[in-house]
Every structure is written in structure tokens, then in C-alpha cells.
Structure 1
């Protein structure tokens, strides 16, 4: 049984948001670079929070504090790299649509989070060599920034999984669910 949903929209608007503005810079159809690149800042910033917390629990926290500082720097660089194809993906979304509005909020949050982490790095760099673990302020800024990043990630997921931005159309997706024929040891059912 198939469920057919009728949507009152211009199909060309949805299709426009699926195609890259520049395949060389934003990734080919169905394989956008932005979601691949965001794993770098997310992983680095989660790791920095783990090291910040650990730095407050150990006797000699210097290496953990330094590690957190450099993970924050790696995250900022990774976020800037991810932003470039993200901007191109934004240009593919027709203005005046819900998807475009969600994308603007997603982008704004990401820019704020990146700025907060850049500030956190500069703060830590200015205080490098100070005894003790990450200060309460640094730890709090890290945690709040990561929480804002989670909200932005939710919005990014909404763009991809609900609105289908830069996701292959249903006909292309159907290829993945076609039965595999002729494989040894498998029935062709």
C-alpha cells in the first residue's frame, strides 16, 4: 500500500534546493560536502568539552587544557571550511520559503557558535600556562556553545531530512531499494 501525499507547492522550488549551485565546490548531486565537513568541528568541540571536564578531575591538568585549546582551534578551522559549501547550499534554497528561513537560522547559529569558540580559543591562548584545569568561565562557554551547536544541528537535520535540501529526489532514492538480482547465493525474490 502506498501513501500519496499531496503538497501545495511548486515542485521546481523543491528540486532547485536538491541540486548544487556548484558541484565542484558544494559536492555533486546527492553527495553534498557540507554534512561531511561538519563532523570535524562537532568532533573537535565535543572532544574539547570532554578534556575540559577531565582537566578539573586530574592532578596535573596542563596537557588536557592544552589539548582542549587546540581542539577548539581545529573546530574553528573546520567550521570555516564547512561554512563555504554550506553557503553554497543556502544559495540553492529559494528565498521566501520555510526551508530558507530555517537555513538562515541554522547559518546564524553556526556563525555565533564559531565566533564563541574563536573567542574561547583566544581567551585560552592568552591564559596558557595558568595553573589548574579549565576555568569555570571557559568550561561554561564551551558547554553553552556546544548546546547552541546541537540546536543548529537539529535545524540542519530538518533541512536535509524533512525538507530534502541537497538530498537526491525520490526517484534516485528508489534505486537503493530495488531488489538485487543475480547475486550468487541470494534469491531473486
Structure 2
């Protein structure tokens, strides 16, 4: 039996990317996902409520928070990608995952500046920025599917099954 997949399970740098079996990338991605989903909720809300200005302004802040979080997640995710052997299906999936995330982040950066150029008046978020955010979230969902494939199908940065089995041994079996 060969240990070829092992490099993709071990961090390039445990200090930067997280220790074996506990990567930081999945923790960090919750920031942009949460911020960007919330920004879309604020966008939609701004088109429903009587005084939408606070929601439109809040959405811009959430987009900015998401972009900062995405940059942090991308830096750590790149370290995880570097641990995957090149030329493998997992590496190609990782490149696609990264590329889609870069497109999504660029869309949100563009949306941020579009909204800033439009001004932060008392009105609702315009249809164009709202559609851009919704489309970016759809692409983010596709990228998230690929991220799940990397972890759950290919086991990238997931502890080896022998390590995982330790969590399922009863106390009596562990003492033996």
C-alpha cells in the first residue's frame, strides 16, 4: 500500500495553515460566506422596507468584510493547495475551486465600488448590484461544492482514516 495521498493531508505550514487534521481554511471561509449571504439579505430587505438606507449601507460594509475574509481564506487555502500533488484530480479540483473563488471575490470588489460610486443615499440597493451579488453567491455555491469534494471525497487536509478511527474506539478498547 502506498502513502501517496499523505502529502495532501499534512499542512505545508502548521503555524499558518493549521495543524494536521484541523486546517484553518474551512474556519476562515465562514467569514466571507456569512458576510456575503447577509449582504444579499440586506439588499433584498432594502427593497422591502420603508427606509432602506441603513440596509443598503450595511450591505456595503458586509461586502467589505467578506472581501477581507476571502483574502485571508485564499492565502491559507493556497497553502493547502500547495500540499496537493500536481497533475492529480484533487489538484485540478483545487485549481477550479480557487479560480471560482477569485471570480467571486472580484465580483464583490466590483460590486463594492459600483455601490460606492452610486452613493450611499437613502434609497434601496439598485437592481444591478443586487443581481451581481446573487450571481456571485451562485458561483460561490459551486465553488463550495468543489471545496467539499476536496475535503470529503479526496480527503485534502483531513486526517488519515487510522487517525479518525481513534475517535470511535471505546475507552475499554483504547486501554487494551
TM score, norm. by length of structure 2: 0.95
Q: Which residue of 95, 99, 103 corresponds with 1:104?
A: 95
Task: Establish whether residue 72 from structure 1 lines up as the match of residue 63 from structure 2.
Answer: yes
1:168-179 to structure 2, matched below 5 A, reads: 168-179=159-170
Runs of 5+ consecutive residues of structure 2 not aligned to the other structure: none
The answer to whether 1:116 aligns with 2:110 is no
Q: In terms of Rg, which structure is larger?
A: 1
Matches within 5 A, 1:124-135: 124-135=115-126
Structure 1 segments, 4+ long, off by >4 Å, are: none
The number of residue pairs the alignment matches comes to: 172
Give the superposed CA RMSD.
Answer: 1.0
Residue equivalent to 1:34: 25
The structural deviation recorded for 1:137 is 0.4
TM-score relative to the length of structure 1: 0.89
Asked if structure 1 preserves the Cα contact closer than 8 Å seen for 2:56 and 2:120, the reply is no
Looking at secondary structure, tell me which structure has more helix per residue: 2
Partner of 2:3: 12
Aligned with 2:82 (options 85, 91, 101): 91
* Distance apart, 1:131 and its partner CA: 4.1
